[in-house]
Structure 1
Amino acid sequence: MYGHVETLAREILRGANSVEGVEAKLWQIPETLPPEELVRLRAPPKSDVPIINPFKLPVADGFVFGFPTRLGMMAAQFKAFLDSTQYLWKAQMLACKPAGIFYSTSCQGVGQETAPQPAELELQQAFHQGNHIATIIKKFKEDAHPIFTLHNRGY
């Protein structure tokens, strides 16, 4: 909503496109909040990044999904998008494709410690679609409180 995830996504895009033979593309999922709620939240205008629909996913060789957190949970828009892939699951159109996630919180301790849990549920959904799960773990400063330490929860 505020551009933090897009900033991270552009860096991931840059890194992926630096690999010979890789052509990565940046997409955004549809907004589900009503316009008046976006105004109330002081959301900036939407990016010019194209909006994807689920039926474009089978063309990709793999996915890295990013989303912001809200009160320690993943964005409802991302959950709704994944829920809309039921037909793709039934047809096994995403099978054997690598998938990963990244997410952003406003600061350490406001959801970053719990965001992986619901995200892992969505990765389990991807796993059931036949995806191979790749995890990227953020490392905090050495003096960070242990409650904020994240662990690899690979499948």
Structure 2
Amino acid sequence: MSQAAAPNVAIIYYSSTGNVHALAQEVATGAEKAGAQVRVAKVAELAPEEAIAANPAWQAHVRETADVPVADPDLVTWADAIIFGSPTRFGNVASQLKQFIDTLGPLWGKGLLADKVYSGFVSTATPHGGRESTLLALYNTVHHFGGILVTPGYTAPIQYETGTPYGPSHHDAQGANPISDATRQSARYSGERVATVAARLKAGAS
């Protein structure tokens, strides 16, 4: 891929105990494999300190990711493609990520969110805890942006193994299940696919 056509890919996520953070790294690896310029950023934490302190895994994750940049609207402006990551919260996007998305109103009002590529990935505690509904809820926002939705679909063998056409997803069984190799492969594939499609669109527009 020529440097001129290399897309800028922003991976913007929220993670409390580390699963979504780990998936973000895999998505970034896939996008980089496709030649993209990748920036990974977390959104700001909104939970009170006492809630974090009451959960050792959450507290440890906050310490371990202290050096991860915090996302801001400029990152979205920079990106040709944005991949959002979130844990599920009652079948929906976590409030931390939603709050960040809600700050993008000024960019939306200027039409600066349109015609970019978007995708997503999630993690949940229970097998049917809203992984698909969370991604579908997230993608409603993409339609309002006028964005171009690029999911992994069933476009590679790994997708038939994981069965996650809407985006990579993990079920952690309240911390008992580590992220599987198949899910990690799906995350890398999704990042690669988003970057590949974004590069084609960028090259066509230049």
Q: In the alignment, what sits opposite 1:146?
A: none
% of aligned pairs identical?
Answer: 28
Q: Distance in 2 between matches of 1:40 and 1:118?
A: 29
Query: Which of 144, 151, 156 is the aligned partner of 1:135?
Result: 151
**Matched residues in 2 for 1:126 and 1:115: separation?**
13
Tell me the alpha carbon deviations over residues 29-79 of structure 1, each in whole angstroms, 9 at most, x when there is no partner: 111111111112331242121101123211111111101112322211111
Correspondence for 1:61: 80
Could you list the structure 1 runs, at least 4 aligned residues long, displaced by more than 4 angstroms after superposition. Answer: 137-142, 149-152
Structure 2: 5+ residue stretches without partners: 1-15, 167-206
| 1:96 to 2:110 alignment | no
**Contact 2:92–2:130 under 8 Å retained in 1:** yes
**TM-score, with normalisation over the residues of structure 1?**
0.79
Residue 124 (1) aligns with residue 140 (2): yes
Comparing both chains, which one has the higher relative contact order based on Cα–Cα distances under 8 Å and sequence gaps of 6 or more? 2
Distance 1:83 1:96, change over 3 A: same
Root mean square deviation of aligned Cα: 2.3
Tell whether 2:27 aligns with 1:12. yes
User: How far apart, CA to CA, are the structure 1 residues paired with 2:134 and 2:39?
Assistant: 25
2:179 matched residue in structure 1: none
Q: Which runs of 5+ in 1 are unaligned?
A: 143-148
Q: Is the 8 A contact 2:118 2:150 kept in 1?
A: yes
1:27 aligned onto 2:41: yes
Q: TM-score, normalised by structure 2?
A: 0.61
Q: Which has more helix, going by share of residues?
A: 2
Taking the aligned partners of 1:45 and 1:8, their CA distance within structure 2 comes to 14
Q: CA distance change for structure 1 residues 27 and 69 in 2, over 3 Å: closer, same or farther?
A: same
Could you give the per-residue CA deviations for residues 103-153 of structure 1, whole angstroms, max 9, x where no partner exists? 01124123325323422xxx22222222111123596869xxxxxx7665x
